[in-house]
Amino acid sequence: MNKVVSKSFFSENVVCIEIEAPRIAKARKAGHFVMVRVGDKGERIPLTISSADIQKGTITLVVQKVGVTSRKLAELEPGDYITDLVGPLGQATHVKNVGTVLACGGGVGVAPLLPIVEAMKEAGNRVISVIAARNKDLIILEDQIRAFSDEVIVMTDDGSYGTKGLITEGMEMVIAREKIDEAVIIGPAIMMKFASLTTKKHNIPSIASLNTIMVDGTGMCGACRVTVGGKTRFVCVDGPEFDAHQVDFDEMLLRLGGYKELEKQAEVEYLCASKKK
Amino acid sequence: MATNIEKLKQERDAAWRDEIRKSKKNKERTDIPRVHMPEAPAMERRHSYVEVNSGLITEQAVLEASRCLDCPDPTCISGCPVEINIPKFIKNIERGEFLESAKVLKETSTLPAVCGRVCPQEKQCEASCFYQLKLKKEPVAIGYLERFAADYEQQSGQISIPEVAQNNGVKVAVIGSGPAGLAFAGDMAKFGYKVHVFEALHQIGGVLKYGIPEFRLPNRIVDVEIESLQKMGVEFENNFIVGKTATIDDLREEGFKGFFVGSGAGLPRFMNIPGENLVGILSSNEYLTRVNLMGASQKGMDTPVVCGKNVAVIGGGNTAMDSVRTALRLGAEKAMIIYRRSLEEMPARVEEVKHAMEEGVEFLTLCNPVEYIGDSTGRVKQMRVQKMVLGEPDSSGRRSPVPLEGSEYLIDVDTVVVSVGVSPNPLISQSLPNLKVSRWGTLEVNPDTLQTSIPDLFAGGDIVRGGATVILAMGDGRKAAASMHDYLSNNQA
Ligand SMILES: Cc1cc2nc3c(=O)[nH]c(=O)nc-3n(C[C@H](O)[C@H](O)[C@H](O)COP(=O)(O)OP(=O)(O)OC[C@H]3O[C@@H](n4cnc5c(N)ncnc54)[C@H](O)[C@@H]3O)c2cc1C
Ligand SMILES: Cc1cc2nc3c(=O)[nH]c(=O)nc-3n(C[C@H](O)[C@H](O)[C@H](O)COP(=O)(O)OP(=O)(O)OC[C@H]3O[C@@H](n4cnc5c(N)ncnc54)[C@H](O)[C@@H]3O)c2cc1C
Ligand code: SF4
Ligand code: SF4
Ligand code: FES
C-alpha cells in the first residue's frame, strides 16, 4: 500500500496527487506509467507518472475525473493509502537531441506530456509547446510546461484563454513559421487523430502516446491492443508511444467506447451512492 | 530410480498395508464400480459460480479407495509427473487415516487440493492405473481421492505445516507466484532459506487466481496453501514487477543470492484475421481476468465485463472451456465452442468438456473463424467460419486440420473470446539481455537442473515449457529448488 503525501487541485476536475513509492520513483523514466487500484472493489487504471522525486521517494500523478476510479482517487486525502500501485510500466520515451520539438497536449494529456517536455529540453532541444483545452478551467500545468519550454502557445475552443481555436490551428501557426524536427502528441484520441493528420501533411515525424483501456497493464490481457502500421500491438508493453502516422485512430476510438455504457451506468450509481452518504 | 522402488516396496511391506490388502479379496475390489463425483445440477450451476464438483463424501472415498489393489508394481506412480506415492495415500484413506493420507501427498506435492481438481488425470496417473491398462476397466479415481484427502486436511483445521530447517540467512527471490513459484518457495523454505516471492499482479497465485474460475477451483483453496507457505516464513510482495520495479541486478545488490523465474506464459495469442480488433472480441485472458481477478460478475465491483447473448469461444483447451462456461454464468443465451479439430483432439480435460456439454455449451468442431464483421459502431455482429477436415498427423501427433474450400458461412455473435494459446511472458528476458531464450521466447534451461544461462538464475513452469499444466509447473519448482540448494551450498563456502 502506498501513502498519499499531498494533493492539490488544478481545476475542479483535475487533481494532482503525490504518492509514496520509492522504488518506482527511482526506476521511472519519462513516458512510463503506473496501474492504480483504489479500494478492494476497485478496477485497475493506467496513469502516467507526471514527475518523481527520488530523494523524497514519491511520484506525482495528475488525474482528470472522468469516471468511478478517477473520482475515487481524487477523493483520497493526504495520509490515505492507495490499495494497489504497480510500475513503472511501458517503454520510456526515446529522448534525443533532434533540434526543434513541437509538444502538443490536449486536455489532461498535458500531464503525461510534462515529463517528456522536461526530458526533451534536458536533451538540448528547442521545445515549443502547444497546450489546448475546451476552456480556461481545463488548461492545466501551464506554469510547469513553461518552465521547460522555449515557447508556449495556449489554445481554447471557446477563446476564454489564450488564442481561440483548436490545437491543430496552433500547431499550423508554428509549422508555418519554422522547421519542426519532431512532434509529440498526447491527448484525447480524437485530438491525437487530427493533430497527427496535421503533422503528416507536413511530413513531421511524430509520436503519439496512446490512452487505451487497460486491465492488467503487463501484456497479459490484450485489452489495450491497437493497430499500428497494420500490425496489432499492445499499448501497455509495446507503447504507450508509437509513430503517430501509423496508428489506426479510428479503430482506437471505437475500442475506447467499448465499455462506455457500463462505465456511465457505474458512474451514475457511484454518484448517487456518494450523495446518499 | 532403484532406491525409490526399494523404498516403495519397504513401505508397501508395512504391517498396516498388508492388513488392509488382506481385508478384501481382489475380486471383491475389482467388482466395485468407479465412484461418481457428486455435482451441482447442470441447469442450476450454469448460472452460478458454485463449485461444480462437490467432492466425495467419506463413505464414497473409503469405498473408492478400497478399489485400489495396492499393486506390487504401482504403474500409476509413473504416470504422475511428481511421482506421488499413490497406493500409500489411497490405502490411508481406506483405513480412515485421512490426515495421514494428506501427509503422504505433501511429501511430493505442494498443492494437492489444487492438483486433485485440475490435473488431467485421464492422461496421467489414471491412464497408467492397472485397471485401465490391464483390466480394461475404469481406473481408480485417483484425482477425486487426492482432492478428498487434501480437502479433509484443509477443513480439519489441523493442517500440517512442513518442518523447516534452521534459517541459513541466505536470501532467494522468486519471480511470479503461480504453481511453479509457490512450489519452489515451499521447498526452499524447508531447506532453511529466506524466501521472498515477487508478484506483478495485486493477488498471489498466478493462473490459479486470475485464470481458472471459481466454479472449478475456489480461491480459498489456493489461499490456504499460500497461508501455509507464509507460516513457513515465505514472504510475498505483490505489485512488484521484476525487471521494471527493480531489476535482477538491483535485487542482487540487496543481497539476494539466487533467483527462480516462474513468470508463466501470460501473453495471449490472436489469430490475426480481419476484424479481430472489433469491440466485443477479447482474449480469454482478458475475459477471465475481468471475472476472476477483478470480480466483474459480482455486484458492486468497479470492473465491467461484457455479458454477451451470443458468445463464441475460439479454441479447445482448458482456457476455452473456462471461458465458454463463464459466458453461460454471465447470462449468455447461446455459448459456443469453435474448434478447428474434432472432439477427440481437444486438449481440454475430458471432465471439463463433459461438464460444458451438460451445461448446454454448443460444440462446433472442425470449424475455424476466418473473418469478423462489425456493425457501424465497431462492435462485432457476425463471424465468418470455414469448415475443416482432418489431414495427416502433425508434429504433435494430432491430425492437422485442413480448410475445406467453399465451405464458409456466417454465424451471429456479439461477443467472441479468442483462446488459441499463450506465449511466454517477455518481461524478464527483455530486462536481461544475456539470458538465453528459445525462438519461441521460452527460457532455455539445463533440463536436469533447470539452471538458465545465468548461473544464479533458475526457471520453470510455463516460462520454460510454454503453456503446460499446474503439476508440471509445480514439479519444476521443486526440481529447481533442489538444484539451487546444491548450487548455493557449493558456492557458499
Ligand atoms: C498509458 C496511459 C496513461 C494515462 N495517463 C493518464 C493521466 O496521466 N491522467 C489521466 O487523467 N488519465 C490518464 N489516462 C487515462 C485514464 O486511464 C482514464 O481516464 C481512466 O482509466 C478512467 O477511469 P475511470 O474509472 O475514472 O473512468 P471510467 O469509468 O473507466 O471511464 C469514464 C469514461 O472515460 C472513458 N475512458 C475509459 N478509459 C479511458 C482511457 N484510457 N482513455 C480515455 N477515455 C477513457 C470511458 O469510455 C468513459 O466514457 C491514461 C491512460 C493510459 C492508457
Ligand atoms: C484458464 C486456464 C485454465 C487452465 N486449466 C488448467 C487445468 O485444468 N489443469 C492444469 O493442469 N493446467 C491448467 N492450466 C495451465 C496452468 O494453469 C499453467 O500451466 C500453470 O499455472 C503455470 O504455472 P506457472 O507457475 O509457470 O505460471 P503462472 O501460473 O502463469 O504464474 C506466473 C505468475 O508470474 C507473474 N509474473 C510474470 N512476470 C513477472 C515479473 N516480471 N515479476 C513478478 N511477477 C511476474 C504473473 O503475474 C503470474 O501471476 C490452465 C491455464 C489457464 C490460463
Ligand atoms: S498430482 Fe495429478 S497426476 Fe499426480 S497423482 Fe495427483 S492428480 Fe494424478
Ligand atoms: S495402479 Fe491403480 S490399482 Fe494399482 S496401485 Fe495404482 S491406483 Fe491402485
Ligand atoms: S492492458 Fe492487458 S495487455 Fe495491455
Task: Identify the CATH number of the domain defined by range B171-266+423-491.
Answer: 3.50.50.60
B371 closest CA partner among B278, B309, B306, B267: B278
A254·B377 Cβ contact <8 A: yes
Fold of B270-420: FAD/NAD(P)-binding domain (3.50.50)
* pLDDT recorded at residue B399: 81
Residue among B183, B197, B187 at smallest CA distance from B162? B187
Interchain CB distance below 8 Å, A41 and B295 = yes
**Partners of A154 in the β-ladder:** A131
Residues of A with CB under 8 A from a CB of B: 23-24, 27, 37, 39, 41-44, 68-69, 83-89, 215-216, 218-223, 225-227, 232, 237, 251, 254-255, 257-259, 262-263, 266
Identify all chain A residues contacting B200, using CB atoms and an 8 Å cutoff: 86, 218
Phi, psi of B319 (to 5 degrees): -65, -40
User: Of ligand 2's atoms, which has the minimum distance to the CA of residue B352?
Assistant: 8
Whether A258 sits inside 8 A of B272 (CB atoms) is no
Looking at CA atoms only, how far is residue A112 from chain B in angstroms?
19
Q: Contact B302/A69, CB-based, under 8 Å?
A: yes
Query: CA dist B409 to A177, A271, B371, B390, Å?
Result: 57, 46, 10, 19
Cβ within 8 Å of residue A42, ≥6 positions away: A69, A72, A83, A84, B302
- Closest C-alpha residue for ligand 1 atom 2: A211
pLDDT at position B436: 94
Those residues whose C-beta lies under 8 Å from the C-beta of residue B372, and which sit 6 or more positions away, are B273, B274, B275, B276, B278, B281, B380, B382, B383, B384, B416
Q: Which of A34, A221, A237, A255 to mutate to test the interface with B (most CBs of B within 10 A)?
A: A221
Closest among B348, B362, B367, B376 to B310, alpha carbons compared: B362
**ipTM of the modeled complex:** 0.90
Chain B positions in Cβ-Cβ contact with residue A87 (cut-off 8 Å): 241, 244-245
Specify the DSSP class assigned to residue B278.
S
List per-residue pLDDT tens for chain B, 493 residues long.
445 788 999 999 999 999 999 999 999 999 999 999 999 989 889 888 889 999 999 999 999 999 999 999 999 999 999 899 999 999 999 999 999 999 999 988 889 999 999 999 999 999 999 999 999 999 999 999 999 999 999 999 888 888 889 999 999 999 999 999 999 999 999 999 999 999 999 999 999 999 999 999 999 999 999 999 999 999 999 999 999 999 999 999 999 999 999 999 888 999 999 999 999 999 999 999 999 989 888 888 888 887 789 999 999 999 999 999 999 999 999 999 999 999 988 999 999 999 999 999 999 999 999 999 999 888 999 999 999 998 888 777 778 889 998 899 999 999 999 999 988 988 888 888 889 999 888 999 999 999 999 999 999 999 999 989 999 999 999 999 999 999 999 886 4
Ligand 1 geometric centre to CA of B237 (Å): 27
Looking at the CA of residue B86, tell me the nearest atom of ligand 3: 5
The predicted-structure confidence for A231-250, as pLDDT tens digits, reads as follows: 999 999 998 999 999 999 99
pLDDT in tens, A212-226: 999 999 999 999 999
Neighbouring CB atoms inside 10 A of A3's CB total 15
Give the one of B244, B277, B300 whose C-beta lies nearest to A88's C-beta: B244
Domain with CATH 3.50.50.60 in chain B: 171-266+423-491, 270-420
Ranges in chain B annotated CATH 1.10.1060.10: 2-156
Decide whether any atom of ligand 2 lies within 6 Å of the B475 Cβ. no
| Residue A148: all three cell numbers together | 521547460
B301 chain-A contacts, CB cut-off 8 A: 41, 43
Task: Quote the pLDDT of residue B1.
Answer: 44
Domains and CATH numbers, chain A: 2-89 (2.40.30.10), 100-256 (3.40.50.80)
Instruction: Check if B407 contacts A (Cβ < 8 Å).
Output: no
- Class of CATH domain B2-156: mainly alpha
Atom of ligand 3 nearest to the CA of B116: 7
pLDDT of B376 reads: 87
Q: What's the gap in Å between the CA of A221 and the closest CA on chain B?
A: 4
- Residue B493 is predicted with a pLDDT of 46
Spell out the SS3 assignment of A166-210.
Answer: CHHHHHHHHHHHCCCCEEEEECCHHHHHHHHHHHHHCCCCEEEEC
Gap between the Cα atoms of B10 and B490, Å rounded: 33
Entry pTM: 0.92
Q: Whose CA is nearest to atom 11 of ligand 2?
A: B469
pLDDT tens string, chain A, 277 residues long: the values are: 899 999 998 888 889 999 999 999 999 998 999 999 999 899 999 999 988 999 999 999 999 888 889 999 999 999 999 999 998 999 998 889 999 999 999 988 998 899 999 999 999 999 999 999 998 888 888 999 999 999 999 999 999 998 999 999 999 999 999 999 999 999 999 999 999 999 999 999 999 999 999 999 999 999 999 999 999 999 999 989 999 999 999 999 988 887 776 666 667 666 666 665 5
